[in-house]
Amino acid sequence: MECLPLILDTDEAIDYFNEHPNCTDAIKAYIVSFLFDEGLENADIRAALHIENICLVSYLKRAGTHLTEAELELWHNNPKNITLGHVRAIAKLPYKDRDHLLGNLVAGRNKSDGGKNSKSVAKYESIARSLAKGEAIEKDVDIIRFEEKMQGATGRVTKIKFNQAKQSGTITLSFYSLDALDDIAKALGFNAEEHGL
């Protein structure tokens, strides 16, 4: 496994970046965070590293300051599996969540389908938002079983979203006609006729 470069001062960081224009985004993030830790502002970093994109320095800084060196090295050694977009989405999550998601990216991209659908940046942004709200990454086995049993009993497509942190959630039952909606409402104790509907 290839390691991150050893950088001791700002001049060395700037020289390394400029001498290796095709280095991985992980190394770029490492260098940008090093320069930030040395007291340089975003505009100074952009100028020193000849980066025109204003947002790019912010994204690299977020990645470099939030990820551990081990995570940066994992990203550096898997640049096709882990992109700056993925890292930007999950950088502010707690270590245990980041570690799990980075591991999924590395492992998932090697599956026969290429992992493209389940490993999109948009999917990881959605996962990060859910985790920030306290929602679980994967559905609980009991919730899945409950969903399946309820679907079998009702004969309707049933989806359950459960927030473990809040111990609350939603149940979605599919229906395909107004009569079916009326049947569901009556089963829940709501009679539409009593309310003039």
Average of per-residue pLDDT values in the chain: 86
How much is the pTM?
0.64
95-133: b or e for each residue (b if 16 or more CB lie within 10 Å)?
eebbbbbbebbbebbeeeeebeeebeeeebeebbeebee
pLDDT at 110: 40
* Of 57, 53, 27, the residue nearest 41 (C-alpha): 57
Q: Report whether pLDDT(104) > 50.
A: yes
Clarify whether residues 105 and 48 are in a common domain.
yes
Helix (H, G, I), strand (E, B) or coil at 175: coil
Clarify whether residues 20 and 112 are in a common domain.
yes
Distances (CA, A) of 72 to 11, 12, 37, 75, 138: 21, 19, 16, 5, 25
Clarify whether residues 181 and 98 are in a common domain.
no
Clarify whether residues 73 and 154 are in a common domain.
no
Clarify whether residues 37 and 119 are in a common domain.
yes
- Considering the domain boundaries, does residue 17 fall inside one? yes
Percentage of the chain modeled with pLDDT above 90? 43
- Considering the domain boundaries, does residue 113 fall inside one? yes
Clarify whether residues 145 and 106 are in a common domain.
no
Give the amino acid at 167: Q
- Considering the domain boundaries, does residue 55 fall inside one? yes
Write the pLDDT tens digit of every residue in 109-131: 444 344 444 578 888 888 888 88
Write the pLDDT tens digit of every residue in 53-99: 989 999 999 999 999 999 999 999 999 999 999 999 999 988 888 88
What's the rounded mean pLDDT across residues 169-197? 87
Q: Which of 87, 115, 132 is the last residue of a domain?
A: 132
Clarify whether residues 113 and 165 are in a common domain.
no
Q: Which of 132, 149, 171 is the last residue of a domain?
A: 132
Number of domains in the chain: 2
Q: How many C-beta atoms surround the C-beta of residue 155 within 10 A?
A: 8
Q: Residue 58 sits in which domain range?
A: 10-132
pLDDT at 165: 66
What's the rounded mean pLDDT across residues 40-60? 95
- Considering the domain boundaries, does residue 3 fall inside one? no
Q: Report whether pLDDT(52) > 50.
A: yes
10-19, 49-58, 131-140, range with the lowest pLDDT: 131-140
CATH of the domain at 70: 1.10.10.2830
